[in-house]
Chain A
Amino acid sequence: MATQLRINGKDVEVTAPPDTPLLWVLRDEIGLTGTKFGCGVASCGACTVHVDGEPTRSCVLPVEAVAGAEITTIDAVNGTVAEAVQKAWRELDVVQCGYCQSGQIMSAIGLLSQNPSPTDQDIDDAMSGNACRCATYHRIRAAIHRAADTLEG
């Protein structure tokens, strides 16, 4: 029942049943705990990872559906966009409790990779699936703009 996955640039064989959501394989089997469990129904975005570069909710994504895909998690995400986003997050001290921020950052990287200079409306559209109960939205929006400015150079 093993499934072959490619996670953070490495081939990984996992033994969880093929219908197990990727989230739990990442967290419990592989030990990549940066990706969070928030709702289990793709409603809060805490579990967001990149599948072939696309922000994707891993809590409702069976591992069998992503065999062979390039999966990237917060634990290893890198590149100029990721660096700009994480730097902006730190400069603006976006985080509070921090539990949702892995997902927020993965969504923000996805947004800026597609759209290097998003408007507020673009940000609302791309980020409204990521809930933050600390309501750090004000700073998330500012940090995305700042990262965009950095990338524009």
Chain B
Amino acid sequence: MTLSTTLQTSRRSFLKGSAALAGATLVVGYRADGALAAADTAADLNPFVRIEPDGTVVAIVKHFEMGQGTTTGLTTLIAEELDADWARVVPEFAPANSEIYGNLFFGGQGTGGSTAMANSFMQYRQAAAGARAVLMQAAAEAWGVSPGEVTIEGGVLKAGGKSAHFGEFAAAAAALPVPAEAPVKSPEQFRLIGKDGLPRKDSSAKTDGTAIFAMDVKLPGMVYAVVLTPPKFGGLLTGFDASGASEVPGFLDARPLADNSGLAVYATGTWAAIQAREAISAEWDFSGAETRSTDALMAYHEGLLDEPQYVVRGDEGVAEAIGGAARTIEAEFRFPFLAHASMEPLNCVVEPTEGGVRFHDGCQFPGIVQPTIGHLLGVDPAKVEVVTVYAGGSFGRRATPKADYHVQAALAFQAWGGDAPVKMVWTREDDMRGGYYRPMAAHRARIGLDADGRIAGWDHRLAVKSILKGSPFEAMIENGVDATSVEGIGDTHYALPAMSVGLTDAEYGVPVLWWRSVGHTHTAYTMETLMDMAAEAAGADPVEFRLGYLPGDDADQRRLAGVLKLAAEKAGWGSAPEGRFQGVAVHKSFNTYVAEVVEISLADGAVKVEKVTCAVDCGIAVNPDVIRAQMEGGIGYGLGAVMRNTITLTDGEVDQWNFPDYEPLRMSDMPDIEVHIVASDEAPTGVGEPGVPPVGPALANAIYAATGTRVTTLPMTESGVSFA
């Protein structure tokens, strides 16, 4: 996608905002009763499909692209039902409009929870099927044949020796009523879904430098801003001295943000703004700031494990079962803060419009940005436009319920006067130290096994800060329990006879957020390490032991057992080559089932991750190669974090600054990866996150197999593990 497409999106959002409401009313009806309707602009067949005069099909993509493949995936659905020529279907990001482009799983427009394909699967297919129906009818009317005689192949309409591309009937089709129940294909009719060989739609632009990210947006009259923020979370600006910045060529001014959360430093270019900020000193009020160190915070978490605040699961007889057990296992786990550290440091551009503002942003939650910024700036939320451009990664960081970086940009825009575009840029250091981390967590488990080595009782407690509490999603908390804190434990699919799970919300002033796979980042690690410990105590093979708790009573157990067996088989479980050691883990997250076998070697005591064999069951595999890519990437993302990443605080200040002290996984760390996809006709589920959770515990279990050391404090390097 190029800049011209971006501009097209912008124009489109203008049309949507200014056109008669009739079109919008019709599309609201789409969501309420599933009916489709042609929109008011000539070639818009519905809000998801536009046909250009030359026959190009434009798929309007309601989810942003952070690399997870949504511009390819949703486009595939449109191309499939239209029988379009793949080369002539192009994605275009939708404007911000939660009524039309809301996520069907959570209402507002936004991407997260690995839901993009899952919530769009039928919606996009039905939209394209509707477009197909009116195109065929328009052709039939023009050619004097019945619609049943018209066929479509490779984007060409045909009947009785006549043929035409879509563009020739776009205008006529747009004037026709769309049938309420245009039939979608049955799976055996799929020509694109489930097939390899469809090139990603974003490959070309991302290999020649033409792909546009927010960092690349430059508008006439634009001012560059960086923000000097307090070194402790919750600090407030009380004074500053910008006299040193006047020497910096290009420096324009420094102005406090209206809420005193920082000082905006303006310049004629990014580098000048960064240099000017270096020359400015500021004073802060830390009376409301978090001033503890992470050591103290971890000790506080551990103390919270004694008396859990909320009951997540409370089976009868757990204490008795553990008290009368033949053997017991006890373990405590500690997890650090983690930064998302996407390659593109956060940034966005805010420009003034008639009665509102327009964001240029790799925008993950337009449905949050619109009301938040509307309220902040006192403008109609509908007048907060969003031009969505490619996002240079997110891993959850851009999905802030408080729109933190948008708010900062809007405040900088406001402080500059609100009459010129402002580009707010974070440096890597701003990004690393900006908070919204994967929360730290502490777990404690006691497991009792009976004389036969069967699990008799399992008591599990954890302490972690709630992500949902105090956010617009707080209503999702039930009986005090934030599911994102405990997902993967309280709802485990292992058939455990008696389990209790207790949760305590930790409270502190460091903002926390979902980080690729959210609670599963720590819950899968504990569950799958503990299952390995239990298997060992029982003298059982780790795969066989797990299968014993997945007897196939329901679909979850069957699908978990399915991926576990497949990964074990493909990895050659139990027959690793000389000098290699294996570990396994299996976990369900975001309705997708993933098992991974990690194979390592040791050289002078240093661990080398050699190979990861992954099996995934995500229902219908719409784009198999995108699924493989997401598993590969999830494995790498998870590996790097458990190996060596941690964000620590000293007296409230973040210790890490940049990649040299938050070392990302590198090429030389990357294992060989094999991904096997389970054939399925179930509805498609997410793949962006589920590759992450199993890799940490599978690696930990492999390290135990090789060294006899159980790693229960992350990152592994802090537990004395060294990596080759």
Instruction: Judge whether B208 and A34 touch: CB under 8 Å.
Output: yes
User: Is B497's beta carbon under 8 Å from chain A?
Assistant: no
Rounded to whole angstroms, the CA-CA distance of A128 and B616 in the bound complex is: 29
- For A93, the chain B residues whose CB sits under 8 A away are 199-200, 203, 625-626, 629
Q: Which of A29, A75, A105, A134 has the most CB of B within 10 A?
A: A134
User: Is A56's beta carbon under 8 Å from chain B?
Assistant: no
CB distance from A79 to the nearest CB of B (A): 14
Instruction: Judge whether B632 and A136 touch: CB under 8 Å.
Output: yes
Instruction: Point out the residue from B66, B203, B343 that lies within 8 Å of A90, measured CB to CB.
Output: B203
Instruction: Judge whether A95 and B206 touch: CB under 8 Å.
Output: yes
CB distance from A51 to the nearest CB of B (A): 17
- For B199, the chain A residues whose CB sits under 8 A away are 90, 93
- For B204, the chain A residues whose CB sits under 8 A away are 90
Mask: chain A, 24-37; 1 = CB below 8 Å from B; 0 = not: 10011101111111
Instruction: Judge whether B209 and A74 touch: CB under 8 Å.
Output: yes
Instruction: Point out the residue from B203, B626, B670 that lies within 8 Å of A135, measured CB to CB.
Output: B670
Rounded to whole angstroms, the CA-CA distance of A124 and B345 in the bound complex is: 25
User: Is B483's beta carbon under 8 Å from chain A?
Assistant: no
Rounded to whole angstroms, the CA-CA distance of A36 and B391 in the bound complex is: 13
- For A134, the chain B residues whose CB sits under 8 A away are 67, 343, 393, 633, 636-637
Instruction: Judge whether A95 and B218 touch: CB under 8 Å.
Output: no
Within 8 A of A (CB), among B41-84: 65-69
Question: In chain B, what residue has the closest Cβ to A127?
Answer: B667
Instruction: Point out the residue from A33, A99, A123, A141 that lies within 8 Å of B392, measured CB to CB.
Output: A99
Instruction: Point out the residue from A24, A33, A86 that lies within 8 Å of B216, measured CB to CB.
Output: A33
Mask: chain A, 123-153; 1 = CB below 8 Å from B; 0 = not: 1110110111111111111000000000000
- For B280, the chain A residues whose CB sits under 8 A away are none
Mask: chain B, 244-284; 1 = CB below 8 Å from A; 0 = not: 00000100000000000000000001110010000000000
Instruction: Judge whether A36 and B208 touch: CB under 8 Å.
Output: no
Rounded to whole angstroms, the CA-CA distance of A127 and B667 in the bound complex is: 6
User: Is B658's beta carbon under 8 Å from chain A?
Assistant: yes
User: Is A117's beta carbon under 8 Å from chain B?
Assistant: no
Instruction: Judge whether A37 and B270 touch: CB under 8 Å.
Output: yes
Instruction: Judge whether B659 and A29 touch: CB under 8 Å.
Output: no
Instruction: Judge whether B670 and A44 touch: CB under 8 Å.
Output: no
Instruction: Judge whether B207 and A105 touch: CB under 8 Å.
Output: yes
User: Is B564's beta carbon under 8 Å from chain A?
Assistant: no
Instruction: Judge whether A44 and B271 touch: CB under 8 Å.
Output: no
- For A101, the chain B residues whose CB sits under 8 A away are 206-207
Q: Which of B69, B660, B667 has the most CB of A within 10 A?
A: B667
Instruction: Judge whether B209 and A96 touch: CB under 8 Å.
Output: no
Instruction: Judge whether A38 and B428 touch: CB under 8 Å.
Output: yes
- For A36, the chain B residues whose CB sits under 8 A away are 213, 215, 343-344, 392
Rounded to whole angstroms, the CA-CA distance of A141 and B625 in the bound complex is: 17
- For B561, the chain A residues whose CB sits under 8 A away are none
Rounded to whole angstroms, the CA-CA distance of A131 and B650 in the bound complex is: 27
Instruction: Judge whether A135 and B636 touch: CB under 8 Å.
Output: yes
- For B390, the chain A residues whose CB sits under 8 A away are 97-99
Q: How many residues of A contact B (CB 8 A)?
A: 56
User: Is A9's beta carbon under 8 Å from chain B?
Assistant: no
User: Is A39's beta carbon under 8 Å from chain B?
Assistant: yes
User: Is A55's beta carbon under 8 Å from chain B?
Assistant: no
Q: Which of B270, B390, B395 has the most CB of A within 10 A?
A: B270
Instruction: Point out the residue from B216, B660, B670 that lies within 8 Å of A43, measured CB to CB.
Output: B660
Instruction: Judge whether B667 and A140 touch: CB under 8 Å.
Output: yes
Rounded to whole angstroms, the CA-CA distance of A19 and B308 in the bound complex is: 57
Instruction: Point out the residue from A39, A73, A128, A132 that lies within 8 Å of B668, measured CB to CB.
Output: A128
Q: A21-B271, A74-B208 are known contacts. Are A139 and B203 too (CB-CB below 8 A)?
A: no
Question: In chain A, what residue has the closest Cβ to B634?
Answer: A135
CB distance from A77 to the nearest CB of B (A): 8
Interface of B is mostly: loop
Instruction: Judge whether B393 and A43 touch: CB under 8 Å.
Output: no
Rounded to whole angstroms, the CA-CA distance of A38 and B633 in the bound complex is: 19
- For B202, the chain A residues whose CB sits under 8 A away are 95, 98
User: Is A66's beta carbon under 8 Å from chain B?
Assistant: no
Rounded to whole angstroms, the CA-CA distance of A95 and B343 in the bound complex is: 13
Mask: chain B, 688-716; 1 = CB below 8 Å from A; 0 = not: 00000000000000000000000000000
- For B269, the chain A residues whose CB sits under 8 A away are 16, 24, 28-29
User: Is A46's beta carbon under 8 Å from chain B?
Assistant: yes
User: Is A20's beta carbon under 8 Å from chain B?
Assistant: yes
Instruction: Point out the residue from B218, B271, B629 that lies within 8 Å of A139, measured CB to CB.
Output: B629
CB distance from A84 to the nearest CB of B (A): 12
Rounded to whole angstroms, the CA-CA distance of A99 and B66 in the bound complex is: 9
Instruction: Judge whether A99 and B270 touch: CB under 8 Å.
Output: no
Instruction: Judge whether B224 and A28 touch: CB under 8 Å.
Output: yes
- For B395, the chain A residues whose CB sits under 8 A away are 133
Rounded to whole angstroms, the CA-CA distance of A98 and B394 in the bound complex is: 12
Instruction: Judge whether A138 and B428 touch: CB under 8 Å.
Output: no
CB distance from B416 to the nearest CB of A (A): 18
Instruction: Judge whether A98 and B392 touch: CB under 8 Å.
Output: yes
- For A32, the chain B residues whose CB sits under 8 A away are 209
Instruction: Judge whether A24 and B271 touch: CB under 8 Å.
Output: yes
- For B65, the chain A residues whose CB sits under 8 A away are 97
Question: In chain A, what residue has the closest Cβ to B344?
Answer: A99
Instruction: Judge whether A131 and B670 touch: CB under 8 Å.
Output: no
Instruction: Judge whether A41 and B660 touch: CB under 8 Å.
Output: yes
Instruction: Judge whether B67 and A128 touch: CB under 8 Å.
Output: no
- For B345, the chain A residues whose CB sits under 8 A away are 37-38
Rounded to whole angstroms, the CA-CA distance of A102 and B343 in the bound complex is: 12
CB distance from B13 to the nearest CB of A (A): 23
Question: In chain B, what residue has the closest Cβ to A86?
Answer: B207
- For B249, the chain A residues whose CB sits under 8 A away are 17
User: Is B211's beta carbon under 8 Å from chain A?
Assistant: yes
Rounded to whole angstroms, the CA-CA distance of A35 and B635 in the bound complex is: 27
- For B659, the chain A residues whose CB sits under 8 A away are 39, 41, 43-44, 131
Rounded to whole angstroms, the CA-CA distance of A102 and B636 in the bound complex is: 20
- For A27, the chain B residues whose CB sits under 8 A away are 216, 270
Question: In chain A, what residue has the closest Cβ to B625?
Answer: A93
CB distance from B31 to the nearest CB of A (A): 30
Rounded to whole angstroms, the CA-CA distance of A130 and B91 in the bound complex is: 29
User: Is B341's beta carbon under 8 Å from chain A?
Assistant: yes
Question: CB within 8 Å of B: which residues of A?
Answer: 16-17, 20-21, 24, 27-29, 31-41, 43-44, 46, 73-75, 86, 89-90, 93-102, 105, 123-125, 127-128, 130-141
With A40-B658, A93-B200, A134-B637 known, 9 other A-B pairs at CB within 8 A are: A35-B209, A36-B392, A40-B428, A44-B343, A99-B392, A100-B343, A128-B668, A135-B636, A141-B667
The 8 residue pairs across chains A and B that have the minimum distance between CB atoms: A34-B209, A135-B636, A99-B392, A96-B67, A98-B206, A97-B67, A74-B209, A33-B216
